[in-house]
Amino acid sequence: MAKIALYFVSQDGQTKKIAHTLSNHLTNLSHQVTVFDLKSNAVSASDIEAADLVIVLAAIRYGLHLKPAELFLKANGDKLCKKPLVMLSVNLTARKPHKRSIEHSVYLQKWLKRHPLNPKIVRAIAGKLDYPRYRFFDRFMIQLIMRITKGPTDPSLTIEYTDWDQVKELAEEISLLV
């Protein structure tokens, strides 16, 4: 049984939902998973060192991964280079399946350039579009991004794009690393 540390940061709750679903799948595959919310948990070097594998799961807002994930990767890069590392990005461009890999995701390419940590797995996972919950500015900006990427702009829409089969398959792939 491997010890897995799963660090996540969520803006609107979908990344948190993905983190807990991924954790449940990994637990069902006989791993011990500890989930850390980077917005509310203080990061302990001993938690990273005790893990056999580390997962970083970060949402994107306006083209950038949320700051707590960026700070975590920067501050702990030396420790993360010594472990099998998985970097997962939650964003709406991943609603298009071909945008889930490094080869076709500018977000993933830039993330790896900022944090050259040699992760074993790097993927994008589609998030959730929830226009009614967004504040005016967020809704406007997301509609603008959606217009550019030929996505839905109707402000009454809520669409969960997350491919839960992909999350389960990722858990199985991650399980093989430890």
The 3-state DSSP class for residue 3 equals strand
- Does residue 41 have a pLDDT over 80? no
Same domain as 155, residue 67: no
**Residue range 93-122: average pLDDT?**
94
| Separation between Cα atoms, residue 76 and residue 94, nearest integer Å | 27
3-state helix, strand, coil in the chain (%, to 5): 45, 25, 30
The CATH number given to whatever domain includes residue 23 is: 3.40.50.360
Question: Strand pairing of 64-65 and 53-61?
Answer: antiparallel
Name, in order, each residue with C-beta under 8 angstroms of 163's C-beta and a sequence gap of 6 or more.
Answer: 97, 125, 126
Same domain as 98, residue 169: yes
Same domain as 109, residue 30: yes
**What tokens does 5 get?**
């540390």
Same domain as 137, residue 69: no
Same domain as 139, residue 64: no
- Does residue 149 have a pLDDT over 90? no
- Does residue 89 have a pLDDT over 80? yes
The whole-model pTM stands at 0.94
Same domain as 136, residue 117: no
**Residue range 96-106: average pLDDT?**
93
Same domain as 69, residue 50: yes
What is residue 1's predicted lDDT score, i.e. its pLDDT? 87
Q: Please, which pLDDT band fits residue 63 given cuts at 50, 70 and 90? A: confident
Range of the domain at 150: 129-161
**What is the C-alpha radius of gyration for the chain, rounded to an integer number of angstroms?**
16
Domain count of the chain? Answer: 2
Same domain as 74, residue 136: no
Same domain as 112, residue 153: no
Same domain as 170, residue 156: no
Same domain as 49, residue 21: yes
| Separation between Cα atoms, residue 5 and residue 151, nearest integer Å | 34
Same domain as 85, residue 150: no
